[in-house]
Chains A and B, each alone.
Chain A
Amino acid sequence: MSAQAVSETTAAALSMRGVWKTFDTPRGPLHVLRDLDFDIAPGAFVVITGPSGSGKSTFLNLASLLDTPSRGTIAFGGRIVSSLTEQELCAVRKERIGMVFQKFCLLTHRSALDNVAFRFRYLPSPAREARRLAESALARVGLAGQADQAVRLMSGGEMQRVAIARAVARRPDLLVADEPTGNLDRASAESVMETFRALHADGIAILLVTHNESLLRYATRHLVCRDGRLEDAP
């Protein structure tokens, strides 16, 4: 895809055109994503489902700019990602993308507040300001009273809410979540999804991958990943 074509999609927070992701294996090249086109507009809530091994996580890695495509073009906020330097790419990641992981990815020996403030570790925010924003984000996910608690002592639902608070402590343009309720019981999963819903209502674009079909009611768009391609769900 040309730069001209990407510029036509500048309205999208994230745009992919003709994206392939191929891994070299002993049995030959493995095409995990095939000629994939995708856009997510600011404020959209896109949920992607699909069977295991269909390429969802690989897609999310590309969407969160943690990986590069084998072929094709990815644009974020209208800028072609492949043209960015490492510094610029890292700046996009830290300033404009929030990430939530299935297993939370928390620093378990630190407190909830420290984990959320870690969002600012590579941002030039003063420590006091980072702490204030972290407290605010924890309050937003309903954990204001547990800011000083070590996360290893928290429940799975609470840990995931800490992880979400970390992702949104600095307001991202795009929040990417990989199976955020995968390790949670039903009640915790509902609580977490309510948090996502509130963030969506706040105008943050959310891209969420899940196996849990019951979460689809929160989505503005549902895509199915199948054989390395994304299709709108029927």
Chain B
Amino acid sequence: MSGALRDIADDIRARPGRAGLSFLALAVGMTALTVLLAVLGGLRERARKIVEELGAHVFVITAPPADGAAQARAALDARHVELLRAHLADGAATGIRIFDGVSAGGDRLARVFAADAALLEARPWRVADGRFFDAYDLRNRERVAVVSETLAVEWNLRVGGVLSLGEAPFRVIGLLRIGADALASETADATLLPGDRAVFVPRTLPPYWLGGRGADESALDAIYVRAPPGASVERTVELARGLLAQPDQRIEQLSVLTPEMLLQRLRKWQDTIRVTAGSIALLCLILGGTTLMSLLVANVRERVTEIGLRRALGATAADIAGLFVLEAILLTAAAALVGAFGTGAVLWLSRERFPAPLQLDAFVLLAPLAVAMVLGAAFSYWPARAAARISPAEALRNE
């Protein structure tokens, strides 16, 4: 093996320009391939996180107003949640009402979510400290609140502390960890994205913060539904639509948001990048491969006498073919390492400013290496075969 490596190093030293050109073309191809893999990986990871942050098998139902903005989202209420629960044995359904801009003392404004205890069955948020409200709190209309971790840090709130909402005191019983970074890149809808100043209170409480203005306590802005295990989101959406479309439910228009709908923009990105960057990578790799092949063809022609000498010294046809295949594989592998790791380093350094999510892992860095080796073997096949077929006597006559 060391002899072969020495032979290859000598050959590259003897023809640096040609080898350098092939190397450059292949490295550019590998760069494009690395960017493609990193971006597609990043988008795939973001899609996974979006689904994770929304909740696995979760979809959101909202009901736009029947006659204008004044009654916005008032068409849903607690009865609809109960109806859905009754038909989703192993699934989950929970409703929320959102109150924006609730005064929390001084100039502090919070976004209040009136929810029930089943909220955490549908959304994947975790209690970081304390607890979430339970059936007792709901039944007894306890004035308790669970706040987002970010709000707790910002307003210095702790479990056991007191938070004023519309001048009514609420006991803080828990802190909620809400992961929504990926979701935030796709939507700003409060029904999906509680935001940094989220406060959760039992849905059965009267809205003290409205200052005496009456509010339908059973009204909901959104219902989260988690499909039962084994049931697809699409089928569960159909079931929910069917249930809520019954005349006695008094809902004229339903709006459903599934994870797949949220991912549509990402899918378009993925398709666009796959086609554009994929074409560039493919073209560069074909260009690199053909340059490599021309390098090897020229090498074979120039090294006919050397091939004859090697055969005279006992090399088999396979040894001769192997010499060119190995040279091609090493050249492409070196180009892949430089292209992939160089690009990986640049992408890593510029990841904050890069306009798309990136994933830089072992696969992204090593896949170009595997592609390079296959490419090297494929494009060297013909020149190597031609070299192996040269008759030693003919080759030495070339001397």
Partners in one complex: yes
Chain A interfacial positions (CB closer than 8 Å to B): 57-58, 61, 64, 66-67, 86-87, 90-91, 93-95, 99, 101-103, 105, 107, 109-110, 118-119, 121-123, 127
In angstroms, Cα B396 to Cα A101, docked, is 9
A105 close to B315 (CB less than 8 A): no
Q: Would A94 and B391 be within 8 Å (CB), given that A57-B397, A103-B399, A109-B14 are in contact?
A: no
Instruction: Give CA–CA (A224, B227) in the complex, Å.
Output: 97
Chain B, Cβ-Cβ closest to A101: B399
Query: Contact: A122 with B312, CB < 8 Å?
Result: no
Closest 7 CB pairs of A and B: A94-B314, A61-B393, A67-B393, A122-B314, A66-B392, A66-B393, A90-B314
B246 at interface by CB-CB < 8 Å: no
Chain A residues in 8 Å Cβ range of B13: 109
Q: Does B64 belong to the interface (CB within 8 Å)?
A: no
Q: Given A61-B393, A103-B399, A127-B2: A66 and B312 within 8 A (CB)?
A: yes
Q: Which residue on chain A has the smallest CB distance to residue B391? A: A67
Q: Which residues of B contact A66 (CB under 8 A)?
A: 308, 311-312, 391-393, 396
Q: Which B residues lie at the A interface, using CB under 8 A? A: 2-3, 7, 10, 13-14, 305-306, 308-317, 319, 391-393, 396-397, 399
Residue in A101, A107, A123 whose CB lies within 8 Å of B314: A123
> What is the bound-complex CA distance between A110 and B10, given in angstroms?
8
Separation in Å of the A150 CB from the closest CB of chain B?
Answer: 12
- Give every chain A residue within 8 A of B3 (Cβ-Cβ): 121
Residue of A nearest to B306 (CB): A107
Please, which residue of chain B has its CB at the minimum distance from the CB of A178?
B396
Q: Is the CB of B396 within 8 A of A105?
A: yes
Number of inter-chain CB pairs below 8 Å: 62
List B contacts of A91 (CB < 8 A): 314
* A126, chain B: closest CB distance, angstroms: 11
The answer to whether A94 touches B313, judged by C-beta atoms less than 8 angstroms apart, is yes
Give the residue name and chain of the A residue nearest to B395 (CB). A66
Bound: A110/B306 CA distance, A: 13
Given A66-B393, A67-B392, A101-B399: A93 and B312 interface contact (C-beta under 8 Å): yes
- Whether the Cβ atoms of A99 and B312 lie closer than 8 Å is yes
List, sorted by A's number, 23 A–B pairs whose CB atoms are closer than 8 Å.
A58-B393, A64-B312, A66-B308, A66-B312, A66-B393, A66-B396, A67-B391, A86-B316, A86-B317, A90-B316, A91-B314, A93-B311, A93-B312, A93-B314, A105-B308, A105-B396, A107-B10, A109-B10, A110-B10, A119-B313, A121-B310, A121-B313, A121-B315
- Chain B residues with Cβ below 8 Å from A87 are 316
Q: A57-B397, A66-B393, A110-B10 are in contact. Are A105 and B317 (CB under 8 A)?
A: no
B316 near A105 with CB under 8 A, answer no
- In the complex formed, the residue of B with least CB distance to A109 is B14
Cα A224 to Cα B237 with chains together (Å):
99
CA distance A210 to B315 in the complex (A): 27
Q: Which residues in B have their C-beta under 8 angstroms from that of A61?
A: 393, 396
Q: Which chain B residue has the least Cβ–Cβ distance from A62?
A: B393
Report B390 CB to chain A, min CB distance, Å. Answer: 11
CA distance in complex: A64, B317 (Å): 17
The residue among B308, B391, B393 with the most chain A CB atoms within 10 A of its own CB is B393
Which of B7, B314, B393 neighbours the largest number of chain A CB atoms within 10 Å of its CB? B314
